[in-house]
Amino acid sequence: MAPGTGDHIPAHAIDHPAVVAMASSAGGLAALSAVLSAFPADFPAAILVVQHLDPVHTSHLAEIMERRIAIHATQAHDGERVRHGTAYFAIPDRHLLLNNDGTLSLTSAPAVHFVRPAADLLFSSVAASSGDQAIAVVLSGGGSDGAEGVVAVAKAGGTVIAQDEQSSEFFSMPRAAIETGRVDHVLPLDSIADCIMKLVDDRSKVT
C-alpha cells in the first residue's frame, strides 16, 4: 500500500514516556477506578483518559480519581508534557490529543460520532505519535466511539485491549472495538491492569 493511505504508520523513536490511552462512557467510572487503582505510584507510563462527559458542566473526574488511586490524576492541560505515573483526563467539550513531542493538545474540533472528547481522535493521535509502542484500552460504554481509533493503533503496530461482555456494565463500545477484528486482548475488568503492566514492562525492555 502506498505511503499516506493510512494503512500503516511506521514505528519510530519517541521522546516521551510510554503512553496508555483509555476510553470509557456509561459505566466508565467504576471500570476506570478498577483499572487505575491497580497501578503503583511509580507506574512507568503516562495514561490518557477519555470519558464521555456532559459538555456543559465542570468535570470532577480527576479529583475523584486522585483520591482513589496511587498514581497522580489530573485534568489535561493544553501544551502540557506527559509524565509517567500520571493519568491525564480529557476535559468536557474538548478533544484530547497526544503530539509527537509528548505534549498534549486540547481542541474544539467538531464532535466525532456526536461526542467530544472522542476516543477515536485520542487513539489515532497516540498511534501516530507512539507507533508500535501505543496501547489502547476500551472499557464499558455505549455507542461505537473508539472503534476507528482502535484500527489506527493496530495499523501502527500497537496493542489493543477491550473489556469483555461479562464484566462490562455497557458493552457497546467494547463490542464495536472487538468487531473491527483489531483487538489483541478481550479481558475481564479485573485482568486488564495486569495485562497493561506486562505490556508496559515488555516495552521498557526493548526501548
| 72: three-class secondary structure by DSSP | strand
| 11: three-class secondary structure by DSSP | coil
Residues of the chain with pLDDT under 50: 1-14
Q: Render pLDDT for 10-42 as a digit per residue (tens, 0 to 9).
A: 334 345 778 999 999 999 999 999 999 999 999
The per-residue pLDDT for 207 is 54
| 19: three-class secondary structure by DSSP | strand
- CATH number, domain of 139, equals 3.40.50.180
Q: C-alpha grid cell for residue 79?
A: 501544551
Is 80 among the domain residues? yes
The per-residue pLDDT for 95 is 96
Positions marked active-site: 25, 52, 145
The per-residue pLDDT for 10 is 37
CA distance to 24, 49, 162, per residue, from 33 (Å): 11, 12, 16
DSSP 52: -
**Beta strand segments in the chain, E:** 19-24, 46-51, 72-75, 86-89, 95-98, 104-107, 135-138, 159-163, 185-187
Q: C-alpha grid cell for residue 49?
A: 483518559
The per-residue pLDDT for 113 is 83
Is 5 among the domain residues? no
The per-residue pLDDT for 203 is 79
CA distance 144 to 160: 15
Residue of 84, 93, 136 lying closest to 116 (CA atoms): 93
The per-residue pLDDT for 17 is 75
CA torsion through residues 187, 190, 196, 199, sign: negative
Is 10 among the domain residues? no
Sequence letter at residue 84? H
Is 13 among the domain residues? no
First CA to last CA across the chain, in angstroms?
28
Q: Looking at the DSSP assignment, which residues form a beta bridge with residue 89?
A: 49, 75
Is 12 among the domain residues? no
Is 6 among the domain residues? no
Q: Which region, left, alpha or beta, applies to residue 107 given φ > 0 means left and ψ of -120 to 50 means alpha?
A: beta
Are the CB atoms for 117 and 49 separated by under 8 Å? no
**Overall domain count for the chain:** 1
The per-residue pLDDT for 145 is 96
The per-residue pLDDT for 206 is 65
Is 194 among the domain residues? yes
Domain extent at residue 164: 19-206
